[in-house]
Structure 1
Amino acid sequence: MARTARDVLDGALRLLAPAAGENRLVAEIAAGRAPLAAVAALALEQGQVIPADRRSFTHLALRATALQQPPVTAFYDHLARGEAVALERLGPLTAACGLGEEAVRAHEPRPGCQAYPAYVSWLALGAEPVDAAVALTANFAAWSASCATVALALREHYGFDDAACGFFDLFAEPDPEAAERALAAVGAGLLDGRLSETLAHRHGRLVQAYEAMFWSTLADEFVPR
């Protein structure tokens, strides 16, 4: 039986799902034990990640257009628009952490936190766009779960209001349009033969590893073992 787009995405989700409990920082935030400084550092690092990812998604959309893959272009256009919204929602989060504009401008990014967007940039330059779409879609599931946990914890333990939690709420909430566009993109890749599940899984393993590095970098700094 021929593989469907749903088969491909479900398989990637199963294969690439992170082990339960491996994210120490999210666990500490969920329990209210992480210092506010850890949340502030998370917000500052995302201030670097989000614009980088938006540029990467825009470039992937352009490459997909050049390859005459409209569904893949539409997938990345949607992601790029989402990153623009995320950037707007970072302001209330950084303010709730007590960070002013000067602190945001002066922030020196941590290499371990910026490895993720650096690799996404590599995907934008060198990967088959539909392969990258599979890898990123699998990663978004783990990211979404982390954001949902953090959003709840910030309300329960840190006194953050809805505006301050809006950044995490954005990624925690289901995005039916993104899911629909991912299926269409993968379906197009299957149809034109450009999709390689082997490479998509390889990209996905690295994306997940670099996201884990993002979280562990902050955990090692703010949450001693």
Structure 2
Amino acid sequence: MSENLFADELIRQACDDVSARSGGNRFVELLEAGELPRERLAWLAGEEFRIVRSDQRSFALLASRFPDGSAGGLFLGLAQGEARASALLLEFAAALGWDGKKLRGYAPLPFAQVYPAYLAWCALYGTRSAVAVAMAANLDEWGGYCGRIADALTSRYRLSEEAVGFFRFFATPPPGFMEQAEAAVEEGLEAGEDPVEALRAAQALHVYETAFWDALVTGLD
């Protein structure tokens, strides 16, 4: 791979690579068929309860590490988005009969939490371009799943639009996100950050995203 890629080319390459590696998502497929036990929806709420809070802190740390230029605005905006998502998640949990006490008492599945653990590592040690590229590729994949989940929850499980607001929120990227991500990547590349490392981060985040969904269908025939 050439080390002289422009930011938009690097992001496109990462998105294409993640798309090529993506297989089916059994959790979403069972949900769309109306065959996913409601207990697993509660698992989803419990896992996300921890993930969004962890990711909010990770993005806030990234914003403090890279406060200048587009990177600071990108990471601060993502942190604020996670705060908004946290409130929306409570609506989803409430529709399942779960309150804050139940969410806090839920025991997370280790393999469902490798994604936020890796993002936390990136927040400490990663480059701005690696995180921006990885998030651009991941939001494309995650957003597609969220749109399908919201549709299935309203059509198959009769949840209200208010209850699926968490998934609608993530179904499309924040306004201006891609432009900010490209600018942050460009800043990183100009500062000498390694584009190969950025692609590796996107690939790793995809693997951990897959592990999350696989954990949620553990034990189902």
Q: TM-score, normalised by structure 2?
A: 0.94
Contact 2:189 2:195 in 1 (8 A): no
Aligned partners of 1:117, 1:3: CA distance in 2, in Å? Answer: 28
Aligned to 1:165: 164
How far apart, CA to CA, are the structure 2 residues paired with 1:5 and 1:56?
23
- 1:17 aligned partner, one-letter code: S
Query: Which residue is 1:208 aligned to?
Result: 206
- Structure 2 counterpart SS, 1:176: coil
| 1:153 matched residue in structure 2 | 152
2:127 and 2:188 in contact (8 A); partners too: no
Matched residues in 1 for 2:12 and 2:175: separation? Answer: 15
* Counterpart code for 2:170: F
What is the root-mean-square deviation in Å for CA atoms of aligned residues? 1.6
Alignment partners' CA distance in 2, 1:18 and 1:45: 27
Q: 1:19 deviation in Å?
A: 4.2
Inter-partner Cα distance in structure 2 for 1:157 and 1:10: 34
Which structure 1 residue ranges, 5 or more long, are not aligned?
none
Which of 3, 7, 10 does residue 8 from structure 1 map onto? 10
**Displacement after TM superposition at 1:28 (Å):** 0.7
Aligned to 2:108: 109
Q: 1:21 touches 1:27 (CA, 8 Å); kept in 2?
A: no
Contact 2:112 2:212 survives alignment (8 Å): yes
Percentage identity across paired residues of the two chains: 34
- In 2: Cα distance, 1:96 partner to 1:128 partner: 39
Secondary structure of the residue that 1:220 maps to in structure 2?
A: coil
Deviation at 1:88, TM superposition (A): 0.6
Q: Following superposition of structure 1 onto structure 2, how do residues 63-78 of structure 1 map, counting pairs within 5 Å?
A: 63-65=65-67, 69-78=68-77
Question: Which whole-Å CA distance do the structure 2 matches of 1:41 and 1:18 have between them?
Answer: 28
* Matched length: 219
Judge conservation of contact 1:18–1:208 (CA < 8 Å) in 2: no
- Contact in 1 for aligned 2:45/2:103 (Cα 8 Å): no
- 1:6 CA drift (Å): 1.3
CA distance in structure 2 between the aligned counterparts of 1:119 and 1:174, rounded to whole angstroms:
21
Residue of structure 2 equivalent to 1:31: 33
Task: Tell me the secondary structure at the aligned position of residue 150 of structure 1.
Answer: helix
Deviation of 1:177 (Å) = 1.8
Preserved contact between residue 75 and residue 181 of structure 1 (Cα < 8 Å): yes
SS at match of 2:159: coil
Paired amino acid for 2:139: F
- What's 1:197 paired with? 195
Q: Structure 2 stretches of 5 or more lacking a match? A: none
TM-score, normalised via structure 1 length: 0.92
Contact 2:10 2:195 in 1 (8 A): yes
